[in-house]
Structure 1
Amino acid sequence: VIAETKDMERVMVSGVAYSKNDARVTIKKVPDKPGVASQIFEPIFKSGIVVDMIVQNTSEDGLTDMTFTVPQSDFYKTMKLVSGVAGKIGAEKVIGDEGVAKVSIIGVGMRSHAGVAQKMFAALAKENINIMMISTSEIKVSCVIEEKYTELAVRVLHEAFGLDDEKKANQ
């Protein structure tokens, strides 16, 4: 079992995945205090809407921005729910974007190799693909990008990690 684990970890990235069915919601200038995140997400969860990525910026002057993704099919419902909460909590405004996609690199070996995320970011930057959000775990790095760049992003990530040619895989 140990030899198998070491072999598996040598393969940094074993695949690239994408989702074109996402939308992004940003709440600007949210009061940075206990309970606010719960107030924002409670009506969303009670409505059965699945939230994927959540990013909260560092607080500045007691205010922060919170951005998250939901399925495109729930975008308008989410915007309505969040707009109602934003007024109650004193947030400045709610901005939404239906034209986003999520691209991810996946691999067990990422946890033992430094620089995998940077290699992903560099590959996207080389093609002028802007990263709007980033999420990481032990086995996955995901980026939210403009939906129109999805196919290009998948192609360049396959190339960057050698998934387009098994001989040069993960060099």
Structure 2
Amino acid sequence: IYTDVDGVYTCDPRVVPAARKIDTISYEEMLEMASSGSKVMQSRSVEFANKFNVLFEVRSSFNNNPGTIVKAETPGMEDVVIRGVSIERNQAKVTIEGVPDKTGTAAKIFNALAAANVVVDVIVQTAPHAGKTDISFTTNKDELEKADAALNAVAKEIGAAGVTRTAGVAKLSVVGIGMRSHSGVAAKLFDLLSNGGFNIQMISTSEIKIAVILDEDRIADAAKVVHEGFGLSTK
């Protein structure tokens, strides 16, 4: 697959100048990075390659330099704990406050969002207190108007206290299949962010990814700190 860059990088070089090209990456890692803000590949194309076990190379249209091989996971791939860091800007956080802690309330909220074609990403629910809870989620900033229309109606229906919206947030993700066999990745990530003075607003995890929501105006600085902290600037 030919593109305008030499391959897949450990982070966007425009954000982290020390980012380096990845020689080999698994389908799963590529899929997670593509869905977390990396613009080199479309998620759907990676899904098809994975489904039919098609090995492919991402390389530049402008030179003959080797690119990045994307293929099925091999045992040695887990030796690399973190393969890359992705960031996604233009996010917004929405919180439905004072949601009654009853069966079916979350379903009503997200059914309303689905009916309005709002794409939801990270979801967090607080522990119940006095029969109430808060439910927060992130979405693209461009989806806020649709989300508002859907949530204003459903909040009244379920008896929620209200809806708050916070623009100016962004998502930072660390991805690596080595997380399956190495402990302490989350602890290290949170230490790096804490020591750098970055406030984590939300956290989401999968088997090979940890994503955090941070202030957008500091996302580039956070990416540099995390990239350096996990040793991605050196092979």
TM-score (normalizing by structure 1): 0.92
- One of 216, 223, 226 as aligned partner of 1:157: 226
Contact 2:116 2:150 in 1 (8 A): no
- Once the two structures are superposed, residues 115-143 of structure 1 have per-residue CA deviations (whole angstroms, 9 ceiling, x without a partner) of 10111111111111000000011110000
Amino acid of the residue matched to residue 142 of structure 1?
A
- Once the two structures are superposed, residues 82-125 of structure 1 have per-residue CA deviations (whole angstroms, 9 ceiling, x without a partner) of 12211111111111011100000000001111110111111111
Q: How does 1:115-126 map to 2 (within 5 A)?
A: 115-126=184-195
Question: Which 4+ residue blocks in structure 1 deviate beyond 6 angstroms?
Answer: none
Q: How does 1:1-171 map to 2 (within 5 A)?
A: 5-166=74-235
Alpha-carbon separation, structure 2, partners of 1:80 and 1:122 = 38
Alpha-carbon separation, structure 1, partners of 2:118 and 2:167 = 15
Aligned to 2:39: none
Alpha-carbon separation, structure 2, partners of 1:86 and 1:138 = 33
Deviation at 1:161, TM superposition (A): 0.6
Aligned to 2:169, what secondary structure does the other structure show?
A: strand
Amino acid of the residue matched to residue 227 of structure 2?
H
Pick the structure with more helix per residue: 1
Alpha-carbon separation, structure 1, partners of 2:164 and 2:152 = 9
Answer 1 or 2: higher relative contact order, Cα 8 Å, separation at least 6: 1
Which stretch of structure 1 is more off in the superposition, 76-85 or 144-153?
76-85
Amino acid of the residue matched to residue 45 of structure 1?
A
Contact 1:25 1:79 in 2 (8 A): no
Contact 2:204 2:212 in 1 (8 A): yes
Alpha-carbon separation, structure 1, partners of 2:229 and 2:74 = 24
Aligned length: 163
Alpha-carbon separation, structure 1, partners of 2:151 and 2:182 = 39
Which stretch of structure 1 is more off in the superposition, 32-41 or 77-86?
77-86
Deviation at 1:6, TM superposition (A): 3.3
Once the two structures are aligned, what percentage of the paired residues are identical?
45
Alpha-carbon separation, structure 1, partners of 2:148 and 2:184 = 36
Alpha-carbon separation, structure 2, partners of 1:79 and 1:13 = 37
Unaligned runs of 5+ in 2: 1-72
Which stretch of structure 1 is more off in the superposition, 77-86 or 153-162?
77-86
TM-score (normalizing by structure 2): 0.67
Give the greater-gyration-radius structure (CA): 2
Alpha-carbon separation, structure 1, partners of 2:117 and 2:159 = 25
Unaligned runs of 5+ in 1: 167-171
